[in-house]
Amino acid sequence: MSRKLIIGNWKMNGSLAANEALARALTTAGLEEKPVDCAVCPPSVYLAQMAGLLQGSSLLLGAQTVHARESGAFTGDVSAAMLAELGCKLVLVGHSERRAGHGESSEQVAAQALAAARAGLTPVVCVGESADDHDAGLMQDVVIAQLAPLAGLEVEAGVLLLEKLVLAYEPIWAIGSGEAATPQYVSVVLECIHEWLAEAAPALAEEALPRVLYGGSVRPDNASEMLSLHACGGLLVGGASLVAEEFIAICSAAAAQV
């Protein structure tokens, strides 16, 4: 089984002082000795500060969004090259809060992911169904439709974008609700995503296929059961990633699964 990936999405939270305290706690927790990949995604204004604070640690730095274009008249946006220059290793794209609040379509999300991968970043493409789609039993259809624009895109000749990314399944109704989806439910959707991947990239060996994470009200007390799912490559953590002990506990639970 490959190492799990645990990503903390800080969303629009933090301050210079709070980030420093959190970074100190995370970098002195001994995570680098554990078989787990851990990352934090602070707001973009704090990326430079966090790059400094994480220097020399095994914690990876990520951003929360990226523009698809390399440069130009895109007020308020940041490019993949800028993120890479600051030391980012990954970037979230298509988070449901970006899709809903900024009208990002799945085609735009795919373009962002491609730009990120071309700049050497790992795009973490987020997908997930709304409460209404959940109630209508449409979760697989919605997720597959969100994934579809990623198929066939090449980072360079002969290198599929699907080899270079991470996927994160976050049912919107579970985000910030305190109620994670059940492991049985998550397992069905993650297996469906894996089946889609196998069809979309038939030439890729299983080890080359991307990790698929779960996100939505992940806490220390439910992390292990999600991580024990065969199809679960890690977790995307919101609220609990802002509390050092909780994020460390989740990362430690992931290390225990290897």
Catalytic residues: 95, 170
Which residue lies nearest ligand 13P, judged by its C-beta? Answer: 238
Residue type, 179: E
In the complex, least distance from residue 100 CB atom to ligand 13P, rounded to whole angstroms? 11
In the complex, least distance from residue 32 CB atom to ligand 13P, rounded to whole angstroms? 23
Whether 4 and 31 have beta carbons less than 8 Å apart is answered as no
* Three-state SS annotation for 31-92: HHHCCEEEEEECCHHHHHHHHHHCCCCCCEEEECCCCCCCCCCCCCCCCHHHHHHCCCCEEE
Binding site for ligand 13P (CB under 6 A): 9, 95, 170, 175-176, 215-218, 236-240
Angle at 234 between CA 56 and CA 90, to 5 degrees: 45
Task: List the structure tokens of 41.
Answer: 């995604």
In the complex, least distance from residue 242 CB atom to ligand 13P, rounded to whole angstroms? 9
In the complex, least distance from residue 152 CB atom to ligand 13P, rounded to whole angstroms? 27
Q: How far apart are CA 162 and CA 153, in angstroms?
A: 8
Which of 169, 167, 130, 137 lies closest to 151 in space, CA to CA? 167
Residue type, 97: E
Q: Which is nearer to ligand 13P, 172 or 231 (CB)?
A: 172
